[in-house]
Amino acid sequence: MIMDGSESWFDEDAGPLVRPFAMTRGRAPSTRYELNMITLVVAVRSDADAVTLDRESAEIVRMCQQRPLSVAEISARLNLLLAVSKVLIGDLIEQEYLIFQAPPPPVETPDMDLLQAVLNGLRDL
């Protein structure tokens, strides 16, 4: 509520009023880099070089200097949607502030017959 008696159109607890598409300038996550939730990201340039970046991008660079972080950790720490974080991280990779390590490819599911044979062998011991 505003003190002059008029009603406010937002709640104090609503948080920041910047919409996600405004942070990314309407862009969706790029397919150029295979970033998923567990992709690790590390800074290769100092945050002193990041003075021209927006606040969120500069914070990502600062956080990733301390230790490698996953995309999900960055998103959670900045309280951003995962899609927004992926766009910002992709921009920073392209600008050579960050590098990333893709997670290992998924392993094939084990052969259930082999596992059953091992279990049967252990029971026979």
Question: In this predicted structure, what is the pLDDT of residue 1?
Answer: 44
pLDDT higher at 76 or 106: 76
Question: In this predicted structure, what is the pLDDT of residue 83?
Answer: 84
Question: In this predicted structure, what is the pLDDT of residue 89?
Answer: 92
Predicted TM-score of the model (pTM): 0.63
* 3-class secondary-structure state, position 5: coil
Residues above pLDDT 70, as percent of the chain: 74
Question: In this predicted structure, what is the pLDDT of residue 99?
Answer: 94
Label residue 56 by pLDDT band (50, 70, 90).
Answer: confident
CATH architecture group of domain 33-105: Orthogonal Bundle (1.10)
The pLDDT tens digits of the residues spanning 4-25 come to 555 555 555 555 555 555 555 5
- What span, in angstroms and rounded, lies between the C-alpha atoms of 81 and 20? 7
Bridge partners (DSSP) of residue 98 are 43
Mean pLDDT of 89-113: 85
Give domain limits for the chain: 33-105
Label residue 68 by pLDDT band (50, 70, 90).
Answer: very high
